[in-house]
Amino acid sequence: MSAVALEIDPPVARITLNRPEVLNAGDPGWVAELTDAVAQVAAAGERLRVAVVTGAGRAFSTGVDLKALAAGAMTLPHFLAWEDAMTAIERMPVPFIAAINGHCLGGGLQLSVLDGWWAEAYDGLNGFAIGDGITHVNVEEQDRRDASSLYDTLENQLIPLYYERDDHGLPRGWIERMKRTIRTLGWRFNTDRMVIDYANTCYLPAAGAKSSHMR
């Protein structure tokens, strides 16, 4: 059975990570087949308008196959080949859609005003901020300040960081922020925690309360 299945039916290509018995984790064979599938999608060129990547079974992919890693089968060249495949996807003109199965913890970087959850979550290195969290009483003036801050952040922080590449074509500074995002936000800001917080601080107290007043 193929570790990575590829279907090209123009204008759509579909890549299926096909190791459901290990939640589609990557081993050397999986990396080689993924690399080949990405190359075939690139070769299809203008015949394609979109490519979809998904996982067989109940998971998209749990990342590296830990058994293969522990056995020494996954070596640096395999990881570099994996990164090269991801870079090739990024640089293709055809858009790729990840059809996620189950839970997903992404490494996308937030760019937002310091309001709501982002005011609590932002630490200066796990994304980007618009403004300084201070709100002006005049809405139009606030919009002007936010717009100025947005353009400044894009020009002097976000865009330079993304396009600063190493010898392998990888944006190392950007990747470090992605890792920090997962490390600092994934376990704190999710629906499970939100529901638990609502239950413990709102719903359960309210169930035994005599008024709607909250402390």
The string over 124-154, giving b where at least 16 C-beta atoms fall within 10 Å of a residue's C-beta and e elsewhere, is: eebbbbbbeeeeeeeeeeeeebeeebbeebe
Q: Regarding beta strands 50-55 and 96-99, do their DSSP bridges make them parallel or antiparallel, or are they unpaired?
A: parallel
pTM, to two decimals: 0.56
What is the reported pLDDT for 51? 95
Residue 51 to residue 14: CA distance in whole angstroms? 6
Q: What is the pLDDT of residues 97-147, one digit of tens each?
A: 989 877 766 778 999 999 888 999 999 999 999 999 998 999 999 999 999
Residue 181 to residue 188: CA distance in whole angstroms? 11
Q: Which of 159, 103, 106, 110 is nearest to 130 (CA)?
A: 110
| Residue type (1 letter), 188 | R
Residue 175 to residue 88: CA distance in whole angstroms? 16
Which pLDDT band, with edges at 50, 70 and 90, does 200 fall under? confident
Contact 26, 66 (CB under 8 A): no
Residue 6 to residue 15: CA distance in whole angstroms? 5
| pLDDT over threshold 70, residue 82 | yes
Q: Which of 128, 144, 147 is nearest to 136 (CA)?
A: 144
Q: What is the pLDDT of residues 24-33, one digit of tens each?
A: 999 999 999 9
What is the reported pLDDT for 213? 62
All domains in the chain, ordered by first residue: 4-99 (3.90.226.10), 110-193 (no CATH)
Q: What is the mean pLDDT of the chain?
A: 89
What are residue 97's DSSP bridge partners? 52
CA dihedral 51, 170, 168, 54 (to 10 degrees): -30
- Tally Cβ neighbours within 10 Å of residue 88: 15
Look at the block and give the residue holding tokens 């490390």.
Answer: 183
Residue 15 to residue 37: CA distance in whole angstroms? 7
What is the reported pLDDT for 168? 82
What are residue 50's DSSP bridge partners? 12
